Every structure is written in structure tokens, then in C-alpha cells.
């Protein structure tokens, strides 16, 4: 908490300094008769950009409803349609060049220096490397964003020293503000704060201790406590954000009591949330997934529907399914390896529960004071999804099955509204339960809620910088650079699913966004993979099998890269909700993630592409994962209540 306040104060201070010392610019009025052009702030080589043109007459935009005027662009004549004196065109800049535009006897010239595409990989690499090397995520994210804004400023013609100053300004006034100016991001922030507020209340009113005491009757050992956490991860299957925040916050006190490390809790939470949400057909992911799949099959003209493709692809989701099974193996065998073994052994040998983790305002409060608000979130979110996505004509269609109707309803629902409604309702219910039983008065209850809000400040700051970095990588076309490498490779069509997995993982790792990776990869890989299958003369059945495999590997690779990335929002939320050091969570989780990922590709994705039965791939892959644990894992002692 102190670190979060410290960083927020530093950020506010530097923001004020930059604003105070920003050089004032005189407001330039257009000449009486002139032409102005609007060039995007960020131009990347070989990427199309939209250039705006505005014609002024007597210092005002020409007011003509519509007219076609001749425009000369770098010596070539075009006929552009102007509306109220404004028009535009697209252009690709390969190298530095002068853009000269003439129209209506007016000429304007501007020098344009595009950013080399290879430089787009620098910001995420710097952020990831600094996070891993120095084990501090705030400065890593800020340095990653700053490196990108510096690249942009230098290529806009600023010298190095002025470019440094401009880069600091752009970091704050463009990318941080942009990250906070997105409705979905604001919804996540508010939802996270409401979850924190609810947790703050049920901790102070004693409800959390009541839940721990109830769970303790079943979860009496380190193994059963972890197993219960794993089962709860399946229970909150409908959304990965809700999963990480609810399960992590709910189980943290019991995990502490059983002397299980916070890193292990974060791993269980993280490795159940996204894998479950990515393959379940009634989740907040389904709308985006079906939309991308539908666009792909329409582009290539396949005679099928997105539901059929999605359901057919689930059996090829080797990484998410094997990740869930591997977590179960780790719990049941009590074996760990790599950094996780060291932190778990230290936690087992510790005679004390972490200081402050078992502080309750009312030790005699029954467990339903915590259970009811949590259930309000779970069932309230489902109800909100049904309400916001309800379509009477869909449910009156006799030709559709119940499962299809339910999936489509949730797929077209507003997931962020559902999460906000349910979390707000949970806070209200927690307040009513606390006051009605006289566990705390209104003032103390509100103080507990505000204290819960404050615990989420750390997560909100990290999320903000992570979103800012994601926007920067989008502006610099980082994904296009990675995708370009894939396009230049000439490989067998049977390796396309494996390649799509690897490149999806790389993009998700670099950008920290599984959803963003799906949005990038699906439009690229679905049409191009089908074209490769056709060009290699594969029959329709084989092509469809490979196509379904590709659909699954994009999701699977996105989830794996998301698990490994220290700038991933779900990874950040998992560590924050579990109370784990973020970098330690990434460090301890990564060996397990990479183990499952390698086995999933080598024994699942590739053999299945060559026609090996899927059930055989799972049997062999799961068996190998179990053997890896037996050979390399070291058994830990059992701790009991």
C-alpha cells in the first residue's frame, strides 16, 4: 500500500512539473487562403495512414456541401471529394520523404520520417526485460512506454534532448490519459475497486473468518486447501477477471493459515481463470471469439457457422486443458520444482502466518456474511449477462437448442455492465448485512469499504501503465512486425497450427493482452492458413481439421503468452488478488507454464495436425506431464490446521 501511494505521489508530482514547464504555444490562425494537412502523430513504415486535407477561405473552412477538386500529391494528380472544405486520402510511407500537396493554387509541404517497423518491438522488450531483471514492474512499464514515445519523438524531427522532453510529455498526456479514457478500462477499474470494497467489508465484519472456519472443516491440509481453490476456479468459469479477483481474495486467508505461499495461490488462480474462460461456451469471451471466427469463415467463404467451428476446435485446445490438469497433478502429488519449490518450502517451514493476514474486526461473525456477497457476484454476473444479452426472438426460435440460445445470449451481452452491476450489488448487500446485524456501525462499514478501495490502488496503477504500453505497441504496429516474420516463413501446412500457437504466445507475451492477440491473429491467420491448405492441395476434410486446430491454437497461445507476461492484466490481477509479489508470481509460474506449453505443442498440436487421434494425444501428453512431476518434482511436507 505504501509503495502504491509513493508511486502515485511521484507520478502526480512529475505530471505537475511537466505541465508547468511545458512551453506555451501561440495559437496559430490559418492564413486567409490556405491549405492545411493533418498527419497522424505516429507513422510506421509500410503501414497505411490517413492524411486529412482542409481548405481555408478567409481564415474559415470552405463551406461547400460537397465538391470534387483536383489535388496534386507529390507530382501525381487525384480527384478528391471535399465536404465542407475537408477531405483525405491514404498513403504508405516506406522511407523518409517530403509530402507536397497543392490544391486551389495553394501548396503545403511537410517532411515525414516513418518509424522503422523493427523498432516497434523495443518498448515491450524493454518493459519485460526490466521487469524480470529488477523485479519491479512500475519502473519497467514506465521505461517501456518512455522508450516508445522517445522513438516517436525523434522520428518526428525533434533532437535527442528535446525528444526526451517531448517523450515524457507524451507518456502522460497521450498514453496514460488514453488508457484511462476507455470505457472498458474504466469499467475494469470500477469493478476492481468494488470487489476490493466488498472484500474490505467482509474482512472487517468477520465474515471472511467465518468462511475460513467453514472451509477449514473440509480443507484441513495444504493439499485440500489448494484443491478447494482449484475447484472454485471452475465454479467462477464465466469471466477471467471475476475469477481471479473473487477466488484470490476469498481463499487468501485460508491459504495463509495452511502455510501455503501466496505465489502458489496466484499460480492456481491464474492457471484456472483464463484456461476455463477460454474453452467454456458460456463466458464473457465467447462473443469476441465467435465474432473473430465468423469474420474468418466469411472471408474464405466456408459453408459453416462460428458455433460449429468453435465447438469443433475445443478438442484441440491442448494447452488450456492440460494446464488445468497439470495444476491438479501438482496439488495431488505435492511435488514442486523450480522457483516454486523454494517459496513453497519456505512457506511450509514458516511457523508464523504472514503478519496482518488474519486481522478481523469481529471474530464471531458467521460465514454467510462473506458467502452471500460472493454469491451475489457470481449469480448476479450471470443474471446481468442474460439481461443485457436477452433477445426474445432468439428464445422463441424452435429450431435452436437451449445450449445454443444460452451461448448466443451471453455472447452478445455486455460483460462489463454485468460485472459492474453484480459487484455494486455485492457491496450494497455486504453493507446491509453488516449494519443489520450491528457488526459495525455505518461509519466503520464505509471506512472498511474505502480501505478496500485503497488496497486496489496498486493494481489500478499497474493496469493503467500496462494499458498505456498496449496502446503504444498498437500505434507502433508491434504485432505487424511479428506477423510479418510469420508471413515470410515457408513451412508445411501441417505446422501452421503450431506456428499460430507460437506467434500468438509471442504477441500475447509482448503486448500482455490475450484478447488483443486474438483480435490481431484471427484476421491474419484464418484466411492465410486456409489459403495455404488450398494451395497445397489438401482435401476439404483435412483442411477443416487443420482449420479447427488453428482456431484453438490462437486462443491457447494467447493464454500461454498472457500467463508468461509480467505486463498482462490478468496476471497482474492474479498476483494482486492473491497478495503475491507480482514479479515473484511470474517467476514461479513460468516454468510450469512453459512445461505444459512445450508438451501441448509437441505431443498435442503437431501430432493432431498429422492425424493422430486427439484422445491419444491427450493420453500421452497428460502421462508425460505426470512423469515430469514425478522425476523433477520434489515432495513437500503436508501442513494441517
- Asked whether 78 and 87 are in contact (CB, 8 A), the reply is no
pLDDT digits (tens, 9 = 90+) for 390-427: 888 888 888 877 877 877 787 677 877 888 898 899 99
For residue 195, pLDDT beyond 80:
yes
How far apart CA 431 and CA 194 sit, in angstroms, is 12
pLDDT at residue 1, as a whole number = 46
Residues in a beta bridge with 72: 77, 102
**Minimum mean pLDDT range among 23-32, 62-71, 178-187, 434-443:** 23-32
CB 331 within 8 A of CB 251: no
Give Cα 531 to chain centroid, integer Å. Answer: 30
Cα distances (Å, whole numbers) of residue 382 to 239, 290, 374, 420: 10, 19, 13, 12
Please give the Cα distance from 308 to 46 (Å, whole number).
37
Helix 496-511 to helix 514-535 angle (10° resolution) is: 160
Instruction: Output the pLDDT for position 417.
Output: 85
* Confidence category of residue 577, pLDDT binned at 50, 70, 90: confident
Above 70 in pLDDT, residue 274?
yes
Model confidence pLDDT, tens digit, residues 254-273:
888 888 999 999 999 999 98
pLDDT, average across residues 102-118 = 83
Q: Which residues pair with 101 in a beta bridge?
A: 73, 108
Please tell me the distance from the alpha carbon of residue 403 to that of residue 414, in angstroms, as a whole number.
19
Higher pLDDT, 438 or 479: 438
Q: What percent of the chain has pLDDT over 90?
A: 25
The per-residue pLDDT for 421 is 92
Here the cell at position 573 is 490481477
Q: What is the pTM of this model?
A: 0.68
Domains and CATH numbers, the chain: 34-44+48-113 (2.60.40), 118-180 (no CATH), 183-283+310-459 (no CATH), 469-635 (no CATH)
Residue among 137, 138, 168 nearest 150 (CA): 168
Percent of the chain with pLDDT over 70: 86
Q: What is the mean pLDDT of residues 51-79?
A: 75
Pairwise pLDDT comparison (298 vs 173), residue with the higher score: 173
Q: Which residue has the higher pLDDT, 84 or 168?
A: 168
Spacing of C-alpha 418 from chain mean position = 18
Q: Which helix (H) or strand (E) segment is 614 a member of? A: helix 614-632
CA nearest to 98, candidates 86, 110, 80, 115: 110
Is residue 572 within 8 A of residue 248, CB to CB? The reply is: no
pLDDT classification of 29: cutoffs 50, 70, 90: very low
Q: What is the mean pLDDT of the chain?
A: 82
In angstroms, the CA 71 to CA 574 distance is: 55
Question: Please, where are the H alpha helices in 317-365?
Answer: 318-333, 339-349
Instruction: Give the pLDDT confidence score for residue 473 in this predicted structure.
Output: 83
| Lowest-confidence segment of 48-52, 75-79, 252-256, 456-460 by average pLDDT | 456-460
pLDDT of residue 456: 78
pLDDT at 329: 96
- The pLDDT of 297-325, averaged and rounded, is 86
Cβ pair 568, 512 in contact under 8 A: yes
pLDDT in tens, 169-194: 999 888 999 888 888 788 878 888 88
Average pLDDT over residues 618-626: 97
Amino acid at each position: 500500500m505504501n509503495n502504491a501511494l509513493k508511486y502515485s505521489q511521484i507520478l502526480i508530482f512529475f505530471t505537475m512539473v511537466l505541465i508547468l514547464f511545458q512551453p506555451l504555444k501561440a495559437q496559430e490562425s490559418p492564413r486567409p487562403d490556405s491549405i492545411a494537412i493533418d498527419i497522424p502523430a505516429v507513422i510506421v513504415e509500410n503501414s497505411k495512414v490517413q492524411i486529412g486535407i482542409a481548405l481555408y477561405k478567409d481564415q474559415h473552412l470552405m463551406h461547400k456541401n460537397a465538391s470534387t477538386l483536383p489535388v496534386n500529391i507529390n507530382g501525381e494528380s487525384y480527384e478528391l471529394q471535399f465536404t465542407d472544405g475537408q477531405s483525405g486520402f491514404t498513403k504508405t510511407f516506406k522511407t523518409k520523404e517530403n509530402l507536397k500537396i497543392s490544391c486551389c493554387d495553394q501548396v503545403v509541404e511537410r517532411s515525414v520520417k516513418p518509424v522503422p517497423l523493427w523498432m516497434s518491438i523495443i518498448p515491450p522488450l524493454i518493459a519485460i526485460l526490466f521487469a524480470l531483471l529488477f523485479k519491479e514492474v512500475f519502473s519497467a512499464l514506465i521505461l517501456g512506454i518512455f522508450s516508445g514515445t522517445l522513438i516517436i519523438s525523434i522520428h518526428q524531427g525533434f533532437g535527442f534532448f528535446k525528444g526526451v522532453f517531448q517523450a515524457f510529455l507524451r507518456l502522460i498526456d497521450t498514453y496514460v490519459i488514453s488508457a484511462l479514457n476507455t470505457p472498458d478500462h474504466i469499467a475494469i477499474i470500477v469493478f476492481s475497486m468494488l470487489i476490493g470494497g466488498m472484500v474490505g467489508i467482509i474482512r472487517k465484519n468477520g465474515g471472511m473468518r467465518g468462511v475460513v472456519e467453514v472451509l477449514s472443516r473440509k480443507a484441513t491440509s495444504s493439499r485440500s486447501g489448494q484443491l478447494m481453490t482449484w475447484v472454485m476456479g471452475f465454479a467462477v468459469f464465466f469471466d477471467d477477471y471475476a475469477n481471479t479477483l473473487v477466488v484470490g481474495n476469498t481463499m487468501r486467508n485460508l491459504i495463509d493459515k495452511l502455510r501455503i505461499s501466496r505465489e502458489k495461490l496466484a499460480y492456481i488462480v491464474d492457471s484456472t481463470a483464463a484456461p476455463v474462460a477460454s474453452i467454456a461456451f458460456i463466458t464473457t469471451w465467447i462473443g469476441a471469439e465467435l465474432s473473430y471466427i465468423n469474420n474468418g469463415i466469411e472471408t474464405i467463404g466456408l459453408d459453416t457457422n462460428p458455433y460449429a467451428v468453435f465447438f469443433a476446435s475445443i478438442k484441440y485446445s491442448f494447452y488450456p486443458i492440460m494446464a488445468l490438469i497439470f495444476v491438479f497433478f501438482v496439488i495431488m502429488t505435492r511435488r514442486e520444482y523450480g522457483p516454486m519449490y523454494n517459496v513453497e518450502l519456505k512457506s511450509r517451514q514458516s511457523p508464523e502466518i504472514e503478519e496482518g493476514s488474519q486481522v478481523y474486526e469481529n471474530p464471531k461473525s458467521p460465514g454467510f456474511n462473506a458467502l452471500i456477497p460472493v454469491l451475489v457476484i457470481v449469480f448476479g454476473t450471470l443474471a446481468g449477462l442474460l439481461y443485457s444479452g436477452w433477445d426474445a426472438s432468439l428464445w422463441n426460435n424452435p429450431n435452436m437448442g437451449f445450449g445454443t440460445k444460452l451461448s448466443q445470449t451471453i455472447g452478445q451481452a455486455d460483460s462489463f455492465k454485468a460485472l459492474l452491476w453484480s459487484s455494486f450489488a455485492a457491496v450494497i448487500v455486504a453493507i446491509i448485512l453488516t449494519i443489520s446485524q450491528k457488526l459495525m456501525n455505518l461509519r466503520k462499514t464505509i471506512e472498511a469499504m474505502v480501505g478496500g478501495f485503497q488496497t486496489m490502488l496498486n493494481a489500478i496503477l499497474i493496469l493503467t501503465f500496462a494499458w498505456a504500453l498496449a496502446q503504444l505497441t498498437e500505434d507502433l504496429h508491434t504485432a505487424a512486425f511479428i506477423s510479418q516474420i510469420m508471413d515470410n516463413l515457408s513451412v508445411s501446412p501441417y505446422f501452421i497450427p503450431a506456428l499460430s500457437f507460437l506467434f500468438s504466445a509471442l504477441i500475447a507475451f509482448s503486448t500482455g493482452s490475450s484478447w488483443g492477440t486474438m483480435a490481431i491473429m484471427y484476421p491474419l491467420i484464418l484466411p492465410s492458413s486456409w489459403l495455404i491448405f488450398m494451395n497445397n492441395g489438401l482435401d476439404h476434410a483435412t483442411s477443416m481439421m487443420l482449420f479447427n486446430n488453428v482456431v484453438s491454437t490462437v486462443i491457447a497461445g494467447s493464454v500461454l503468452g498472457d500467463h508468461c507476461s509480467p505486463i498482462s492484466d490478468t496476471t497482474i490481477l492474479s498476483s494482486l488478488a492473491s497478495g503475491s509479489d507480482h514479479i515473484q508470481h511470474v517467476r514461479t509460474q513460468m516454468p510450469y507454464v512453459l512445461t505444459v506449453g512445450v508438451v501441448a505443442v509437441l505431443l498435442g498440436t503437431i501430432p493432431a495436425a498429422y492425424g493422430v487421434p486427439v484422445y491419444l494425444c491427450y493420453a500421452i501428453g497428460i502421462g508425460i506431464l505426470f512423469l515430469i512431476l514425478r522425476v523433477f518434482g520434489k515432495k513437500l511436507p503436508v501442513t494441517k490446521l
